[in-house]
């Protein structure tokens, strides 16, 4: 799907933004491969002919870590492309003029969601799962499903926020460096 993008990896200059995007993409690619291999290792039935020789416990641990990591990495990846996504929304909804009020309202909503995302990240034990402090995923089946989904949305917004503003920081630092030359 991204053959054209992969073919350009050896071309052009590697400035900080491009390097950040490539690192995030490569981590996501590696994570997805680990996710697939660990899923195959856990099944121990469907893909028996592959003879992975992987213990179920190792496969399950790799799967939990890579699942939670991929969730965070995907949000971060979206954040690195968020400027392009905003441009597409503006085009689809025919938004041609800038509105400072709308911009600040949307930034405020995103900021509040990102702050709540930090809370949800802790509440949902993401760090404990990624660092294997917890080996099994536990769900509270008495909690309404919508609360779980809203927490995941807030964590995604947090990661989009982090990716987008980290990229903005690098753009700012690069511009400042050029001004000082």
pLDDT tens, 109-161?
A: 999 999 999 999 999 999 999 998 987 787 888 999 999 999 999 999 999 99
Q: What is residue 5's predicted lDDT score, i.e. its pLDDT?
A: 73
* CA gyration radius, the chain: 20
Answer yes or no: are the C-beta atoms of 63 and 38 closer than 8 Å: yes
Query: Residue 62 to residues 128, 129, 181: CA-CA distances in angstroms?
Result: 14, 10, 47
The pTM score is 0.85
Residue in this structure with the two tokens 């992975």, named with its chain if needed: 52
Residue in this structure with the two tokens 């400035």, named with its chain if needed: 15
Question: Chain-centre distance of CA 46, in angstroms?
Answer: 30
pLDDT tens, 3-53?
A: 777 777 777 777 777 888 889 999 999 999 999 999 888 887 777 777 777
Q: What is residue 1's predicted lDDT score, i.e. its pLDDT?
A: 63
Query: Residue 179 to residues 56, 101, 167, 169, 175: CA-CA distances in angstroms?
Result: 56, 30, 18, 15, 6
Q: Say which residues have a Cβ less than 8 Å from residue 61's Cβ, sequence separation at least 6.
A: 132, 135
pLDDT tens, 2-17?
A: 777 777 777 777 777 7
Q: Where are the domains of the chain?
A: 13-180
């Amino acid at each position: 799907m991204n053959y054209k993008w992969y073919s350009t990896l050896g071309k052009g200059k590697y400035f900080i933004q491009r390097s950040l995007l490539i690192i995030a993409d490569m981590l996501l690619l590696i994570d997805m491969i680990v996710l697939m291999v660990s899923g195959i290792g856990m099944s121990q039935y469907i893909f028996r002919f592959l003879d992975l020789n992987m213990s179920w416990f190792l496969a399950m641990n790799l799967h939990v870590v890579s699942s939670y990591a991929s969730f965070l990495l995907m949000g971060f990846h979206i954040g690195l492309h968020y400027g392009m996504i905003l441009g597409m929304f503006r085009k689809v909804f025919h938004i041609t003029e800038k509105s400072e009020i709308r911009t600040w309202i949307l930034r405020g909503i995103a900021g509040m969601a990102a702050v709540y995302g930090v809370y949800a990240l802790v509440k949902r034990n993401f760090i404990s799962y990624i660092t294997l402090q917890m080996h099994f995923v536990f769900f509270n089946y008495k909690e309404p499903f919508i609360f779980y989904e809203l927490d995941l949305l807030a964590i995604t917004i947090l990661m989009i926020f982090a990716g987008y503003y980290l990229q903005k920081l690098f753009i700012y630092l690069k511009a400042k460096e050029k001004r000082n030359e």
